[in-house]
Amino acid sequence: MKTVLKLLVSTASILVAAYIIPGVMIDSAVTAIIVAVVLGVLNTFARPVLLLLTLPINIVSLGLFTFIINAFLVYLAAMIVPGFGLASFLTALIFSLVVSLVGAFLSMFMD
């Protein structure tokens, strides 16, 4: 049940971010669910590897390079999922920040 709630929170935050940010295109709510699942899989498997590979630059930048990694994963999800498009890498960066903030806000109401 908790996994379904996390998926719904992720989907809602993706839909809110797509509505707010120009340059983000999502065809439907089903596409948003697929994007949430793909981002979850990428964050589970690819993100730790990328963080390990970029550890020196992440230390030098005091962790700010993690935002670039998150944007790269969102951009990768846009290439994987049909019906989800981003105008640029900067749009992916802003999208990942908004999804994180909205997701954190909505997660406060889950418990």
What is the C-alpha to C-alpha distance for residues 67 and 96, in angstroms, rounded to an integer? 8
Domain residue spans in the chain? 2-107
Chain-wide mean pLDDT for the chain?
A: 95
- Amino acid 55: pLDDT: 97
pLDDT digits (tens, 9 = 90+) for 74-104: 999 999 999 999 999 999 999 999 999 999 9
With bands split at pLDDT 50, 70 and 90, how would you rate the model's confidence at 110?
confident
DSSP letter for each residue of 11-78: HHHHHHHHHHSTTEEE--HHHHHHHHHHHHHHHHHHHHHHHHHTHHHHHHTTTTHHHHHHHHHHHHHH
What angle do the packed helices 65-80 and 89-107 form, to 10 degrees?
100
Q: Please report, rounded to a whole number, the percentage of residues in the chain having pLDDT higher than 90.
A: 94
Query: In this predicted structure, what is the pLDDT of residue 72?
Result: 97
